């Protein structure tokens, strides 16, 4: 069967009446707005060049005076409202609503009748508003994209969002993750601090700062009873978070997620690799200079070639030092021809080639690997003993970049050990803040998709509205004083 196409357009952009008529009828409109035939005094559909016009006047009904409560059907006057009703996606649609005003015979107050089309003095229909809000829930939808879809201005979409969306903070969870994302520049800070419930993966709240005093003030406004419920608090190696967590969560064990430790160690590993690369580069440059001036001996020629190869491998396969790809450790992996090295190599050979001729790289990698094994093999019970051994190994290392890491491990020792705690006995699960990192990506997406937010409350509401699946909007407009 052929799909039903949108009605064809005439050359001047006018829609064909005959095609439209069966698509939108009085009955549809009544059903749409939950009206009965008796509710309607006048009803007309016309097609004009800029869209479909539905003209409606409701029947006279007794209304209660909003001031004194008297019932009345005394008409004062009418005013015509043109309402944008973007529910048909092939055409702009307007409701021309003859809004009736009543006058109270008792207190003389005048007021508009109840109607199902718009909220208050808005010019956008209730249905359009709910479509707009539904679309705004998607993280990648922007105020601009939604405005375009529903034939309304960006300002209108923003106003609708501000009028209907206000998400409250969620209660503090047992497993709280604190992380930051570089996303919103306020007068206070360029970081957004994200509080996540690590169990149900919902965002508890987002704050416009990660400064100590601001965080303490924020948490201290939460009743102690609620703060006491936080049993585990996980964050990155930012001293402020530890100070704040100890101050505001009396029952919490603080943890540093594996991710942050491994990331920091990876940065150090990379510095060792770069310095090895530099050594080869210096050698290459010196020999190039000599070659130009007096030429190279056979032996120098060989050293030059070797240094170039080492430099090439270190630069091209640098990712191996921070990777957990198993192929690096498998000597039996298929070998492929490498043109630069003029031979057959697999990842195992290439890695071996890198560390075999550079003692510092070899030592540094062994240390890094001991941390990887520590996370893979240890349990809470033996984590302390093993970590202390690792700290000694790092401290004894002659490479400064690595020996300094002993200080990092010492400074965060208890938090690292705590990250082995089982927070969910049933599922035998440790605290996991990987989801926080995931959320951060989405927050950045919201930020990028919106050409930067200038209003913090709006940005915060959009994050919570779009990223927590269970959040919803208010059906009625939130009063300004409640905001
Ligand atoms: Zn009255």
Could you read off the pLDDT of 239-275 as tens digits, one per residue? 999 999 999 999 999 999 888 899 999 999 999 999 9
pLDDT band, very low/low/confident/very high, at 12 (cuts 50, 70, 90): very low
pLDDT band, very low/low/confident/very high, at 189 (cuts 50, 70, 90): low
Cα–ligand 1 centroid distance for 115 (angstroms): 19
Length of the chain (residues): 483
**Angle in degrees, 0-180, between the axes of helices 154-164 and 126-136, rounded to the nearest 10:** 80
Cα–ligand 1 centroid distance for 72 (angstroms): 9
CB of 370 closer than 8 Å to CB of 393: yes
Burial class of 73 by CB neighbour count within 10 A (0 to 12, 13 to 18, 19+): exposed
3-class secondary-structure state, position 81: strand
Q: What is the mean pLDDT of the chain?
A: 86
User: What's the CA gap between 222 and 244, in Å, rounded?
Assistant: 14
pLDDT per residue over 196-210, tens digit each?
Answer: 998 888 899 999 888
3-class secondary-structure state, position 125: strand
Largest Cα–Cα distance in the chain? 113
Reply yes or no on whether the pLDDT at 337 is more than 70.
yes
Cα–ligand 1 centroid distance for 118 (angstroms): 23
Cα–ligand 1 centroid distance for 75 (angstroms): 13
Pairing of strands 253-256, 232-235: parallel
CB of 320 closer than 8 Å to CB of 305: no
Rg (C-alpha) for the chain, rounded Å, is 34
When comparing pLDDT for 30 and 402, which is higher? 402
Cα–ligand 1 centroid distance for 114 (angstroms): 16
Cα–ligand 1 centroid distance for 330 (angstroms): 87
Q: Which two tokens stand for residue 255?
A: 């943890």
Q: Please give the backbone phi and psi of residue 413, each rounded to the nearest 5 degrees, phi first.
A: -55, -55
The residues pairing with 77 across neighbouring beta strands, listed in sequence order, are: 101
Cα–ligand 1 centroid distance for 58 (angstroms): 22
User: Global pTM?
Assistant: 0.76
Cα–ligand 1 centroid distance for 395 (angstroms): 84
Cα–ligand 1 centroid distance for 347 (angstroms): 86
Cα–ligand 1 centroid distance for 445 (angstroms): 52
Say what the pLDDT of residue 56 is: 92
User: What's the CA gap between 151 and 140, in Å, rounded?
Assistant: 19
pLDDT band, very low/low/confident/very high, at 33 (cuts 50, 70, 90): confident
Say what the pLDDT of residue 451 is: 58
| Sign of the C-alpha dihedral computed for residues 394, 399, 405 and 407 taken in this order | positive
Cα–ligand 1 centroid distance for 479 (angstroms): 23
String of DSSP letters for 14-34: PBPHHHHTTTS-HHHHHHHTT
Cα–ligand 1 centroid distance for 76 (angstroms): 13
Cα–ligand 1 centroid distance for 59 (angstroms): 21
Cα–ligand 1 centroid distance for 71 (angstroms): 8
User: What's the CA gap between 122 and 126, in Å, rounded?
Assistant: 9
Pairing of strands 232-235, 175-182: parallel
Cα–ligand 1 centroid distance for 79 (angstroms): 20
Q: Which two tokens stand for residue 451?
A: 């050409």
Cα–ligand 1 centroid distance for 95 (angstroms): 30
Cα–ligand 1 centroid distance for 385 (angstroms): 80
Q: Which two tokens stand for residue 307?
A: 């240094």
Cα–ligand 1 centroid distance for 81 (angstroms): 24
**Angle in degrees, 0-180, between the axes of helices 359-377 and 380-396, rounded to the nearest 10:** 170
Cα–ligand 1 centroid distance for 100 (angstroms): 16
3-class secondary-structure state, position 4: coil
CB of 400 closer than 8 Å to CB of 360: no
Q: Which helix (H) or strand (E) holds 400?
A: helix 400-403
Cα–ligand 1 centroid distance for 97 (angstroms): 25
CB of 402 closer than 8 Å to CB of 390: no
What are the CB-based long-range contacts (under 8 Å, 24+) for 144-150? 144/451, 149/86, 149/89, 150/84, 150/86, 150/124
Start-end of H helices in 165-297: 212-220, 224-227, 239-248, 258-293
CB of 321 closer than 8 Å to CB of 314: no
pLDDT per residue over 369-423, tens digit each?
Answer: 999 999 999 999 999 999 999 999 999 999 999 999 999 999 999 999 999 998 8
Cα–ligand 1 centroid distance for 121 (angstroms): 21
Cα–ligand 1 centroid distance for 110 (angstroms): 8
CB of 75 closer than 8 Å to CB of 100: yes
């Amino acid at each position: 069967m052929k799909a039903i196409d949108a009605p064809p357009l005439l050359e001047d952009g006018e829609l064909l009446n005959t095609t439209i008529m069966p698509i939108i009828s009085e009955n549809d409109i009544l059903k749409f707005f939950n009206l009965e035939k008796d509710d309607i005094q006048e009803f007309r559909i016309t097609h004009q060049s800029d869209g479909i016009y539905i003209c409606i006047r409701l029947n006279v009904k007794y209304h209660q005076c909003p001031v004194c409560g008297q019932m009345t059907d005394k008409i004062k006057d009418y005013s015509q409202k043109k309402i944008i009703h973007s529910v048909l996606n092939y055409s702009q649609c307007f409701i021309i609503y003859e809004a009736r005003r009543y006058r109270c015979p008792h207190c003389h107050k005048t007021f508009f009748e109840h109607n199902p089309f718009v909220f208050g003095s808005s010019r956008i229909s209730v249905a359009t508003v709910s479509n707009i809000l539904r679309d705004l829930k998607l993280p990648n939808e922007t105020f601009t994209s939604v405005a375009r879809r529903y034939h309304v201005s960006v300002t209108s979409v923003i106003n609708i969002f501000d009028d209907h969306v206000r998400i409250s903070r969620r209660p503090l969870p047992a497993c709280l993750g604190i992380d930051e994302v570089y996303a919103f520049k306020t007068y206070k800070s360029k970081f957004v601090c994200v509080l996540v419930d690590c169990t149900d993966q919902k965002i508890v709240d987002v704050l416009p700062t990660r400064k100590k005093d601001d965080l303490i003030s924020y948490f201290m406004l939460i009743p102690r009873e609620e703060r006491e419920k936080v049993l585990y608090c996980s964050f990155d190696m930012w001293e402020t978070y530890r100070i704040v967590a100890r101050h505001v969560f009396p029952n919490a064990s603080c943890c540093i997620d594996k991710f942050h430790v491994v990331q920091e160690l990876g940065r150090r590993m990379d510095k060792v690799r770069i310095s090895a690369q530099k050594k080869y580069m210096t050698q290459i440059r010196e020999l190039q200079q000599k070659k130009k001036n007096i030429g190279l001996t056979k032996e120098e020629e060989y050293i030059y070639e070797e240094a170039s190869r080492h430099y090439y491998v270190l630069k091209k396969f640098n990712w191996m030092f921070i990777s957990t790809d198993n192929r690096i450790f498998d000597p039996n992996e298929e070998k492929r021809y490498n043109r630069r090295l003029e031979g057959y190599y697999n990842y195992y050979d290439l890695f071996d080639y890198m560390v075999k001729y550079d003692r510092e790289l070899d030592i540094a990698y062994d240390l890094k690997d001991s941390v990887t094994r520590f996370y893979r093999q240890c349990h809470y019970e033996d984590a302390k003993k093993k970590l202390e051994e690792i700290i000694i190994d790092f401290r004894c290392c002659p490479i400064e970049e690595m020996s300094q890491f002993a200080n990092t491990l010492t400074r965060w020792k208890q938090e690292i050990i705590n990250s082995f705690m089982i927070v969910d006995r049933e599922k035998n699960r440790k605290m996991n803040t990987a989801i926080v990192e995931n959320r951060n990506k989405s927050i950045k997406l919201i930020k990028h998709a919106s050409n930067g937010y200038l209003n913090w409350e709006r940005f915060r509401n959009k994050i919570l509205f779009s990223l927590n699946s269970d959040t919803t909007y208010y059906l009625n407009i939130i009063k300004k004083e409640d905001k």
